Amino acid sequence: MKPSIYVAKKVPGEVAEYLEAHCEVRYWNGNEAITKEQLIEEIGDAEGVLLSGTPVTSEVIAAAPRLRVISNNAVGYNNLRLEPIIARGILATHTPHVLDETVADLAFALILAAGRRVTELHAWVREGRWKKGQEEELYGLDIHHATLGIIGMGRIGEAIARRARFGFEMNVQYYNRNRKPDVEEKLGVTYVGLDELLATSDYVLLMLPLTPETRGMIGAREFGLMKQTAVFVNVARGPIVDESALYDALAQRTIYAAGLDVYAQEPIDPAHPLLTLPNVVTLPHIGSATSATRMEMASLAARNLVHALQGKSDIALIPELRNV
């Protein structure tokens, strides 16, 4: 008998066919993303669930007495409450690696756009503010040969460092919980302390996961250490940054500009003060949003779910479950 699963997000047709070949499948058919409360009502007797971003709390776990596998269709998994998952012996997987290069592309797009004021000056052209004879009003910052500081040297950080070093001949330094001599040798990057990175980088890129230790890690003190000409880019998680402090740093020109793909609350409130500033490039959390990458992520999430239910070991367990 096929195991019963609940698919709590839209998936491509090919992925649905794969799931239906191995499982009895029920789907969320709402037009909006499923909420935690709706998931509690829907999950029923499912042995597995495939979702993306929806909080999985003790209440969700309690509502699913037969649940054995949670497949999170994302590389991040801060939506999963690990204590009840571990207590129940449930397997939880994610989709690392397949989006590394795509997210690195997006991070570099934000570096370029914020440094060269792409969206700000795009608006100037559209609004008729571009006049003959303008010079300094149009100036931006160089990216080539500048210093890039990466906070969090995981696989995506490495992909960004490779673009910076070999594409733009940037000086790259990084801060990470663990030093990585192999990456230093391979890419020619330098390990420095966090304060030194903040004080000496022209571009500061945040690539950390959201954990209790990293929540609120970048605030007024950290922005105060940065150069007045520094550009801050966040493609990691919004709650790592104190957004009020970021607003103050940008509005007061303590730092030069910012490029953001993530926010403390998503979608961000259109009335958020950050959206009033001309020196902020904002995107709607699209780091992995290309058709090819999202297809690959959905395929991996489906494979993780099916293989875990079949008792196979070739699944991408979230790190905290690997030694449980």
Report mean pLDDT in 10-residue bins for the chain, 324 residues. 96 97 96 95 97 96 97 94 95 96 98 98 96 94 98 97 98 97 97 98 96 96 98 97 98 98 96 98 97 97 98 94 80
Distance (Å, whole) CA 187 – CA 163 = 10
Distance (Å, whole) CA 254 – CA 178 = 30
According to the model, what pLDDT value does residue 323 have? 78
| Residue 163 bears catalytic tag | no
Q: Are 136 and 195 in contact (CB under 8 A)?
A: no
| CATH 3.40.50.720 boundaries in the chain | 4-98+291-321, 100-282
According to the model, what pLDDT value does residue 321 have? 87
Mean predicted lDDT score pLDDT of the chain: 96
Distance (Å, whole) CA 266 – CA 284 = 8
According to the model, what pLDDT value does residue 121 have? 97
According to the model, what pLDDT value does residue 322 have? 85
What is this structure's pTM? 0.92
| Catalytic one of 37, 41, 137, 266 | 266
Domain 100-282 is of which CATH architecture? 3-Layer(aba) Sandwich (3.40)
According to the model, what pLDDT value does residue 124 have? 95
| Catalytic one of 116, 237, 294, 307 | 237
Q: Hey, what CATH topology would domain 4-98+291-321 get?
A: Rossmann fold (3.40.50)
Q: Is the peptide bond before 267 cis (omega within 30 degrees of 0)?
A: yes
| Residue 88 bears catalytic tag | no
User: What's the sign of the alpha-carbon dihedral 75, 237, 280, 197?
Assistant: negative
Q: How far is CA 212 from CA 24, 54, 76, 216, 239, in A?
A: 37, 19, 14, 9, 10
Distance (Å, whole) CA 114 – CA 219 = 20
Phi then psi dihedrals of residue 226, to 5 deg: -75, 160
Phi then psi dihedrals of residue 229, to 5 deg: -100, 10
| Residue 285 bears catalytic tag | yes
Distance (Å, whole) CA 260 – CA 305 = 32
Which residues, 6+ apart, have CB-to-CB distance to 241 below 8 Å? 206, 216, 217, 218, 219, 234, 264
**Tokens 């795509």 found at:** 102
| Catalytic one of 59, 88, 285, 296 | 285
